Structure formats: structure tokens, C-alpha cells
């Protein structure tokens, strides 16, 4: 198992918005409104996006954004419903962002399911779909992004240890999307918890006028977190993949006994599973710093099942008896 150096909570803290509860306790108004019956406007260029959003801006309507890479599933649908209830106009971006994929990763094979995505967006009451080409987002070419967002130390651990260039690409494209759409609020999934933490930190640190909200992870009936990459799994791998959420659940169930017990319980389940190659299993506080006894925490896991890398995480309340094992000793 990879061991990662502890991350300083104070560097990365976003105390204004944490975990699932933060999303539901947001100050944003909740405005249940039925899905619009109109088809979404499809904007492919910056000019088309401006034209699509101008009437909403002129009318003083609030705009929400759900950034995605397409291959939409019920997890994305939940983010859209969450955003739609909190805004007058819902924009969804569909863009497989090349700069967050390393050369050895799956950019070329990433699922692209435009017709199905469009039908889902129409059904979910999306007002505007922004689906740019690569050169619209990167006019000088994705390899020459020029000015990029430095994601800081949190981007070097956990996902960042395996994917060292990933979060620079994510934050750069999300900053661009925020600049283009200028949303009042943006919704991201807790499934990608480290990504959500980094985007919150970016918006706060760079004074971006957008409220970043996290929405809970949507799961398959057996507990597997929904993910576009689940499509890569064959039947046997799909059965094995449930080990990630089972491990997290075992950890959550041990929360009263403290941090050491949480990690041990989760570790036993994930390492006992055939064909599941653990990358990391870590316990953090809700800001992804060091977990504290008697406080809310986050248990995060990543593993390879066949050639597919999957991640998942769950929140828990740690018992007082928490003494962390030395990570290097595990
Ligand atoms: N199961 C889920 N529940 C809630 N939100 C999710 C879920 N899966 C993805 N999201 C969120 O949807 C947004 C778009 O993610 P993306 O398009 O990369 O889908 P994905 O399923 O995470 O794909 P991948 O398999 O590439 O990780 C992100 O904010 C992500 O956290
Ligand atoms: C936030 C995001 C859309 C940026 O490309 C992507 O990382 C994702 O889908 O999670
Ligand atoms: N949802 C995470 C996007 C990625 O893995 O590139």
C-alpha cells in the first residue's frame, strides 16, 4: 500500500464548506422547480455560450454550473437536480479535458456518448449545454496551456501521488469554465473528494465569485460508486469492484473505536478481495488534513480492478479513542 505524508490541514482548510453536510447547509436558496420542457441550448463556442446565457444574465437570473466529462449517469443527474433546485438557469459542461490526463492514461478511450448525454440533459431540465472543442478551451493547444493553476501541496498526495499532473489540469479547466460561464454556484460530486476540496480551495484562494457545493455520492444497489469508468469493467471485475465500498463501510462501522480500527477494518476487506490492487487507503479530516479524535473524518480509497482505476470515499464520525498508527509502519 502506498503511504502518503500527512497533509497539513491548515494549508488546505476550507472551513466554510465541508463534506455532505456542508452541501445541504448551504446558504443558497432552494427553489424546487420542474424541469424545463425546452430542449437545452447547445453552445460549442465561447460566442454561442455568451449568446445563450445573455438573456438569463440580463434578467438577473442565477446561473448554476455542473462541469462533467460526459458519459452521464445517475451521479451526474443528482448533481444536476441539486443545482437546478438552487438556481434559475442550469448550465452543464461536457468536455473531456485533455490536460488532466497523463500521456499513459485513457484520454483517447474515455467514453464519449453524446446522443445519450443530450437526451439525459433534456430530460433533466438542463437549460444550456456547453460542449466545446479542445481548441475552444485551449486556443494555443492543450500542450501549451500557458498560464495554469498551481494546485499546491494537496495535489501531490493520494490521487496526486499516482497522477502528478492531474489536478493542475483539473483546476485550470475548471477556472476557465468558471470564467466562461460565470456561474453563481457550481456543483461537484463528493465521489471525487480530493478534487472537490481542491476546487473549493481554488475558488476561495483566488477570490472567484462562485459558491462551490458538494453533493453526495450516488451508488449502485450493491454499493459501488457510480462512475463513467465503471463501463470499462467486465462482469467479473464488476463483481470485484464492490470491495471498495465494502471496505469503506467496514471502516465506517468501526468509527467508534477510533482511527486505527477504521483503517484496519477497511484494509482487511480491501486486501482480502481477489483481483483488487490497492493504491491507497487513507483517513483524513474533512479538509483532507490530519484526522482528529472525536471529529468528522473522511476515509478514502483507490484501487485498480483489472486495468481500471476506481476511487471512493465515505464520511464518518471518529470516536475519541483515536490514536493513529504510524503510516510508514503499515
Ligand atoms: N457517483 C457519483 N455521485 C455523485 N457525483 C458524481 C458521481 N460520479 C461522478 N460524480 C461527479 O460528477 C462530476 C463529473 O465527473 P465525471 O464526468 O468525471 O464523471 P465520473 O463518473 O467521475 O467519471 P470518472 O469515471 O472519469 O471518474 C464530478 O463532480 C464528479 O465528482
Ligand atoms: C471537474 C471536471 C469536469 C474537470 O474536467 C472533471 O475532473 C470531472 O468530471 O470530475
Ligand atoms: N472524475 C475525475 C476525472 C478524472 O479522473 O480525470
**Which CATH number is 284's domain given?**
3.30.1300.10
Residue 16 has a pLDDT of: 28
Taking CA 290 as the corner, what is the angle to CA 286 and CA 292, rounded to the nearest 5 degrees? 80
The tally of domains found in the chain comes to: 2
Task: Quote the domain boundaries for residue 28.
Answer: 9-215
Q: What is the DSSP letter of 236?
A: H
Closest residue by Cα to atom 7, ligand 2, is 170
Q: How far is the CA of 158 from the centre of ligand 3 (A)?
A: 14
| Of 155, 160, 170, best ligand 3 pocket probe by most atoms within 8 Å of the beta carbon | 170
Quick: pLDDT tens for 83-113: 999 999 999 999 999 999 999 999 999 999 9
CATH code for position 83? 3.40.50.620
Q: How far is the CA of 266 from the centre of ligand 1 (A)?
A: 23
- Out of 9-18, 24-33, 153-162, which region has the weakest mean confidence (pLDDT)? 9-18
Do 171 and 250 lie in a common domain? no
Does residue 187 sit in helix, strand or coil?
Answer: strand
> Does residue 227 lie in a domain region?
no
| Of 79, 98, 109, 195, best ligand 3 pocket probe by most atoms within 8 Å of the beta carbon | 195
Ligand found nearest the CA of 199: 2
- Which of 154, 186, 215 represents a domain boundary (last residue)? 215
- Residue 104 φ/ψ, nearest 5 degrees: -90, 5
Ligand found nearest the CA of 173: 2
Ligand found nearest the CA of 189: 1
Q: pTM for this one?
A: 0.90
> Does residue 229 lie in a domain region?
no
> Does residue 266 lie in a domain region?
yes
Residue 36 has a pLDDT of: 56
Do 23 and 80 lie in a common domain? yes
Do 180 and 246 lie in a common domain? no
Residue 35 has a pLDDT of: 56
* pLDDT of residue 21 exceeding 80: no
Higher-scoring residue by pLDDT: 138, 5: 138
How buried is 161 (Cβ within 10 angstroms: 0-12 exposed, 13-18 middle, 19+ buried)? Answer: middle
- Residue 10 φ/ψ, nearest 5 degrees: -70, -30
* CA dist., res. 313 & res. 330, Å (int): 20
Tell me if 287 CB under 6 Å of ligand 1.
Answer: no
The angle, 0 to 180 degrees and rounded to 10, between the axes of the packed helices 114-123 and 74-84 is 40
Do 205 and 241 lie in a common domain? no
- Out of 31-35, 44-48, 238-242, which region has the weakest mean confidence (pLDDT)? 31-35
* CA dist., res. 265 & res. 17, Å (int): 29
Strands (E), the chain: 41-43, 63-68, 89-94, 128-130, 185-189, 211-215, 276-285, 296-305, 308-317
Tell me if 190 CB under 6 Å of ligand 3.
Answer: no
> Whole-number mean pLDDT of the chain?
89
Q: What is the DSSP letter of 328?
A: G
Share of the chain above pLDDT 70, in %: 85
- Residue 210 φ/ψ, nearest 5 degrees: -140, 140
Do 16 and 142 lie in a common domain? yes
**Max CA-CA distance within the chain?**
60
> Does residue 1 lie in a domain region?
no
- Residue 220 φ/ψ, nearest 5 degrees: -70, 170
204: closest CA among 17, 9, 24?
A: 17
* pLDDT of residue 324 exceeding 60: no
Band of residue 148 on the pLDDT scale cut at 50, 70, 90: very high
Do 98 and 240 lie in a common domain? no
Tell how far CA 134 is from the center of its chain: 21
* CA dist., res. 99 & res. 145, Å (int): 8
Protein residues with CB under 6 Å of any ligand 2 atom? 67-69, 97, 100, 170, 173-174, 192, 195
Do 206 and 275 lie in a common domain? no
Amino acid at each position: 500500500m502506498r503511504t502518503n505524508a500527512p497533509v497539513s490541514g491548515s494549508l488546505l482548510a476550507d472551513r466554510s464548506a465541508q463534506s455532505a453536510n456542508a452541501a445541504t447547509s448551504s446558504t443558497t436558496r432552494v427553489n424546487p422547480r420542474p424541469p424545463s420542457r425546452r430542449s437545452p441550448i447547445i453552445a460549442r463556442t465561447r460566442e454561442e455560450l455568451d449568446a445563450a446565457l445573455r438573456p438569463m444574465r440580463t434578467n438577473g437570473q442565477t446561473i448554476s454550473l455542473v462541469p462533467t466529462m460526459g458519459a452521464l449517469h445517475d451521479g451526474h443527474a443528482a448533481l444536476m437536480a441539486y443545482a437546478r433546485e438552487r438556481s434559475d438557469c442550469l448550465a452543464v459542461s461536457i468536455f473531456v479535458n485533455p490536460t488532466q490526463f497523463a500521456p499513459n492514461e485513457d484520454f483517447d478511450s474515455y467514453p464519449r456518448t453524446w446522443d445519450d448525454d443530450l437526451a439525459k440533459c433534456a430530460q433533466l431540465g438542463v437549460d444550456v449545454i456547453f460542449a466545446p472543442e479542445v481548441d475552444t478551451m485551449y486556443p494555443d493547444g492543450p500542450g501549451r496551456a500557458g498560464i495554469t493553476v498551481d494546485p499546491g501541496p494537496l495535489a501531490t498526495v493520494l490521487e496526486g501521488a499516482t497522477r502528478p499532473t492531474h489536478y493542475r489540469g483539473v483546476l485550470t479547466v475548471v477556472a476557465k469554465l468558471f470564467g466562461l460561464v460565470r456561474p453563481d454556484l457550481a456543483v461537484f460530486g463528493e465521489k471525487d473528494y480530493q478534487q472537490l476540496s481542491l476546487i473549493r480551495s481554488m475558488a476561495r484562494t483566488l477570490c472567484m465569485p462562485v459558491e462551490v457545493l458538494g453533493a453526495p455520492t450516488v451508488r449502485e444497489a450493491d454499493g459501488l460508486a457510480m462512475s463513467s469508468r465503471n463501463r470499462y469493467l467486465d462482469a467479473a471485475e464488476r463483481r470485484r469492484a464492490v470491495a471498495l465500498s465494502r471496505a469503506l463501510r467496514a471502516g465506517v462501522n468501526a468509527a467508534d473505536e477510533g482511527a486505527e480500527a477504521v483503517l484496519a477494518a477497511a484494509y482487511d476487506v480491501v486486501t482480502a478481495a481477489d483481483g483488487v490492487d490497492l493504491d491507497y487507503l487513507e483517513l483524513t479530516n474533512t479538509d483532507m488534513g490530519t484526522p482528529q479524535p472525536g471529529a468528522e473524518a473522511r476515509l478514502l480509497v483507490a484501487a485498480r480492478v483489472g486495468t481500471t482505476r476506481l476511487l471512493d470515499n465515505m464520511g464518518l464520525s471518529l470516536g475519541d479513542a483515536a490514536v493513529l498508527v504510524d503510516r510508514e509502519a503499515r
